[in-house]
Amino acid sequence: MGFASMSVIELVLVLSLSFFHGGEGVLSTLDGPFKPVTVPLDNSSRGKAVDLSDTDPVVQRVVEGFEPEQISLSLSATYDSVWISWITGEFHIGYNITSLDPKTVASVVQYGVYGLPITDEATGYSLVYNQLYPFEGLQNYTSGIIHHVRLTGLMPDTLYQYQCGDPSISAMSDINYFRTMPVSGPHSYPSRVAVVGDLGLTFNTTSTVDHMISNHPDLVLLVGDVSYANLYLTNGTGSDCYSCSFSQTPIHETYQPRWDYWGRYMQPLVSKVPIMVVEGNHEIEQQAENQTFVAYSSRFAFPSEESGSSSTFYYSFNAGGIHFIMLGAYISYNKPEDQYKWLERDLASVDREVTPWLVAAWHPPWYSTYMAHYREAECMRVEMEDILYKYGVDIVFNGHVHAYERSNRVYNYTLDPCGPIHIVVGDGGNREKMAIAHADEAGNCPEPSTTPDKYMGGFCAFNFTSGPAEGKFCWDQQPDYSAYRESSFGHGILEVQNETHALWTWHRNKDMYNLAGDEIYIVRQPDRCPVDSGGT
């Protein structure tokens, strides 16, 4: 479908938006489906794929005593509430550790509208978590005191100033600033949403974050794999392939201080711009008594309770006229289980007259043509794709595969004008290797039995039963649902313009920040693709 099939209003809008962004001739999804494009590998894009060292100034602890550090901001379910999080006190790692007492330091945020006196105050809760190992010779870890405070009664699209800490012991942070989300409505959107996955803490990461900051996001979406602390032994020895280097370890160790380094490095951004995180496989971090995901669930604040969820693994929130759904791939997603039931309730409650855009995110992709993690999340797709299609999800963001890929509109591996656009942005810059090989290239199709992930359920990735790949596990050429793929580090920016048009741009680290390696207008067609809409 091309410009000839567009209404006059749609045509004028697309052309005017293209002119405004300097992207004359930017195509829209109405021009698709597009013939598959694979950008040849540029070997210079690999960059310095090594971690920042623990002696780097940007990861050093610069506060004293119980002064706050690792300050971060996250959204609640609606514009009038946000979470402020921070850490006080020092972590301890060793063979005999003593945990700090969270009750010794208060959790207080003092805040107010920018330009006016700071007169409001909110209190929250605090906790300490441990990473413990039941084997001799492994060092255990206990965190500093983690604080989470929820601010309520905020005005939309308003600049606030705040300090956090404990005023009773003169341990308060400097003044920071944040802007609330606009009120939910069909004509009200954050200017830019940055989307990134598989970030880590390497020199590639710093390039990604620098580029992201230069694009002035109002919100950051991190679709899993945060600090990569689990690429290290407890003595701090690291590798970009844990199983390759440490195959004889009795348990998959982690070096938890990497979380603290990551929090310190990210503070200048996430203390001012809210970050919304969903878990990835590198957050599993198994420890004693089979506990998992403890650091992830402890360090971030999630709008779980506000969005009706009982878990840190899945939740939802509004950002203007966008309803975001964050799903957990490493917790049960089957229809009889809590996550699926929550998802069904959440989707049924979305009023598309108020939040026209419906965006979903989780870590491992359903639609990726790379050999790495090929069809790994097939059981999740089989279980959940129908309900996302039924309610008209517009865009899906994933990570996990360390490359960039954008799909045509697709449903059940078939081109479908009402299916979502799937975008893989697992190219944030972590230490592991970049994904380069494609499953459709000769000799790269994996053995089906090797594809399931033990944390994601059973085996569902059977041979295709119809279409060009009928009777096969892989296509023999780039599938028609894959519109664009490229192995390069970077991040994406989503700019929703109105209830039907959004500009998506992907930015390579090797380019100037204002250049787009891939760009397209994603256009909703509610008249052509009517969906169930709650609240109407």
Active site residues per annotation: 373
Exposure string of 396-405, with b = 16+ CB inside 10 Å and e = fewer, is bbbbbbbbbb
Among candidates 290, 313, 309, which has minimal Cα distance to 300?
313
Q: 196 and 491 in contact (C-beta within 8 Å)? A: yes
Residue type for 494, please?
A: L
Q: 318 and 184 in contact (C-beta within 8 Å)? A: yes
Return the structure tokens found at 80. 């009038």
**Which residues lie below 8 Å from residue 188, measured CB to CB, with a gap of 6+?**
156, 157, 182, 320, 321
Please state, in angstroms and rounded to a whole number, the distance separating the CA atoms of residues 343 and 339: 6
Q: 126 and 145 in contact (C-beta within 8 Å)? A: yes
Please state, in angstroms and rounded to a whole number, the distance separating the CA atoms of residues 152 and 122: 9
Exposure string of 220-232, with b = 16+ CB inside 10 Å and e = fewer, is bbbbbbbbbbbbb
The H or E element containing residue 15 is helix 8-20
**Which residues lie below 8 Å from residue 288, measured CB to CB, with a gap of 6+?**
132, 133, 134
Please state, in angstroms and rounded to a whole number, the distance separating the CA atoms of residues 376 and 448: 9
C-alpha pair distances (Å), 263 with each of 176, 236, 371: 16, 17, 32
The H or E element containing residue 13 is helix 8-20
- Beta pairing, strands 357-361 & 322-326: parallel
Q: 316 and 288 in contact (C-beta within 8 Å)? A: no
Q: 426 and 402 in contact (C-beta within 8 Å)? A: yes
Please state, in angstroms and rounded to a whole number, the distance separating the CA atoms of residues 361 and 394: 11
Please state, in angstroms and rounded to a whole number, the distance separating the CA atoms of residues 319 and 251: 40
Beta strands, E only, 412-517: 414-415, 421-425, 482-486, 490-496, 501-508
Among candidates 225, 258, 284, 277, which has minimal Cα distance to 85?
277
- Specify the DSSP class assigned to residue 33: S
Question: How large is the C-alpha radius of gyration of the chain?
Answer: 23
